[in-house]
Amino acid sequence: MPYLFTSESVSEGHPDKVADQISDALIDNFLAWDPDSRVAIETLVTTGQVVLAGEVKSNTYLDIPQITRDVIKKIGYTKSEYMFEANSCGILSAIHEQSADINQGVDRVKKEDQGAGDQGIMFGYANNETESYMPLALDLSHKLLIELAALRRENKDITYLRPDAKSQVTIEYDDDHKPLRIDTIVISTQHDDFDEEAKMLAKINADIVNILIPRVKESLKPELQALFTKDIKFHINPTGKFVIGGPHGDTGLTGRKIIVDTYGGKGGHGGGAFSGKDPSKVDRSGAYATRHIAKNLVAAGIADEILVQISYAIGVKDPMGIYVNTYGTSKVNFTDSEIANKIQSTFDMTPYGIETRLGLRNPIYSETAAYGHMGRKPQKVTKTFKNIHNEVKTIEVELFTWEKLDSVDQVKKAFGI
């Protein structure tokens, strides 16, 4: 019997994502000047105020207020009427030195013996319903908001948009778990004030349906374009007026959008957030590594859908265990437990092995902090950083390395394909 599945996304201007982007910008700046930095930074944003707290062990010092203001400005909070503005917001930093008790469990004489920065469970997931091996509902939810942000910055076809926004997509699937159509699209976008609310709602509805949706649809493959039928139910700014938004409308916190950051409710989640953490924290690096494995296994034809779980104990380098679920879609003559054993013998899952294989000690995290950590396009970019001494460093880095299909041949060989 057909069923519905829903995922949501939030924009870069959503208060929780503002917090994530500040935390990850600070991670990048610490790693740019000292790749061995140990950092865990939480951010809170509210009306006219940013509060930073966390622990750092590093050989560098940063102009933390300026980095924070640069992030807020880039997002688009640049007007006083937003009640949260880059140049005028207060910034309180309560960042202090990392606990020596934690650090002794991570650092070792030999880097290869580095222990996990915390205990916990992490999940990686992939399926083959999109080119990015991501769940379709989440993929479309992200695309809607990425395009909405592009329209806001163009300030041409739609001129009243403000940074805060949310999306939600509901897909109808058949009994074989194949998408049949888009059932519902929800878009809530912050906007400038209008004189008349009825005209405002009509204008926003028309612009979303006639400008945003066609732009997103045009970017998709024909088989996905066919899911956009005339029967889609639209809920656009369903509460009505959405002028008050961003950190003024709702307090934002680092790590509060972990399902948006991963698989939109598909697969599993260990509960640990990513943003604000250096890669010694396996909440982050373990989740990236298991996504890399899951994606390469699906691309290699091992299964149509796969979930990979890994677990760690703080201070211990080897994982406690690896679990696999192929949801009955396996294409090889191996049980799920045998697939897990193959993964363990094929991939180095020690914290140092993951950091090295995926290049995680580079300043690559700011780009992850909005529109999902998974399903993104691997690419090389050049980034420039300035420290408190006005020294400038330019670094070429590779983003989203865990999305590379660079282990498909290795997987095929391991499974005798």
- Please state the rounded mean pLDDT for residues 164-185: 97
User: 165 labelled as ligand-binding?
Assistant: yes
User: 79 labelled as ligand-binding?
Assistant: no
Confidence band (pLDDT; 50, 70, 90) for 222?
Answer: very high
User: 217 labelled as ligand-binding?
Assistant: no
Pairing relationship of beta strands 38-46 and 252-253 according to DSSP bridges: antiparallel
Please name which of 280, 361, 276, 356 lies closest in space to residue 118, comparing C-alpha atoms: 280
For the stretch 266-304, pLDDT in tens is 999 999 999 999 999 999 999 999 999 999 999 999 999
* Cβ–Cβ < 8 Å for 407, 297: no
The pLDDT of residue 140: 98
User: 235 labelled as ligand-binding?
Assistant: no
Which runs of consecutive H residues, i.e. helices, occur in 236-350?
A: 246-249, 258-261, 282-299, 336-346
User: 386 labelled as ligand-binding?
Assistant: no
Strand ranges of the sheet holding 305-312, from the earlier edge strand across to the other edge? 120-127, 305-312, 321-325
User: 241 labelled as ligand-binding?
Assistant: yes
Pairing relationship of beta strands 233-236 and 179-191 according to DSSP bridges: parallel
For the stretch 341-378, pLDDT in tens is 999 999 999 999 999 999 999 999 999 999 999 999 99
Whether the pLDDT of residue 307 is over 90: the answer is yes
User: 257 labelled as ligand-binding?
Assistant: yes
Torsion of CA 120, 281, 370, 66, to 10 degrees: 140
The pLDDT of residue 180: 97
User: 234 labelled as ligand-binding?
Assistant: no
User: 342 labelled as ligand-binding?
Assistant: no
Greater pLDDT, 98 or 182: 182
Task: Kindly report the average pLDDT of the chain as a whole number.
Answer: 95
What pTM was computed for the model?
Answer: 0.96
The pLDDT of residue 100: 66
User: 32 labelled as ligand-binding?
Assistant: no
User: 273 labelled as ligand-binding?
Assistant: yes
Whether the pLDDT of residue 124 is over 90: the answer is yes
The pLDDT of residue 115: 80
Of 19-23, 36-40, 113-117, 381-385, the one with minimum mean pLDDT is: 113-117
User: 104 labelled as ligand-binding?
Assistant: no
Q: What is the DSSP string of 205-256?
A: HHHIIIIIHHHHHHTS-HHHHTT--TT-EEEESTTS---S-HHHHS-EETT-
Taking the C-alpha atoms of residue 201 and residue 305, their distance in angstroms, rounded to an integer, is 40
For the stretch 3-38, pLDDT in tens is 999 999 999 999 999 999 999 999 999 999 999 999
Domains and CATH numbers, the chain: 3-12+135-244 (3.30.300.10), 16-110 (3.30.300.10), 120-128+256-379+398-414 (3.30.300.10)
For the stretch 387-403, pLDDT in tens is 998 999 999 999 999 99
For the stretch 61-80, pLDDT in tens is 999 999 999 999 999 999 99
User: 14 labelled as ligand-binding?
Assistant: yes
* Cβ–Cβ < 8 Å for 95, 55: yes
Taking the C-alpha atoms of residue 295 and residue 302, their distance in angstroms, rounded to an integer, is 10
The pLDDT of residue 109: 55
Q: Percent of the chain having pLDDT more than 90?
A: 93
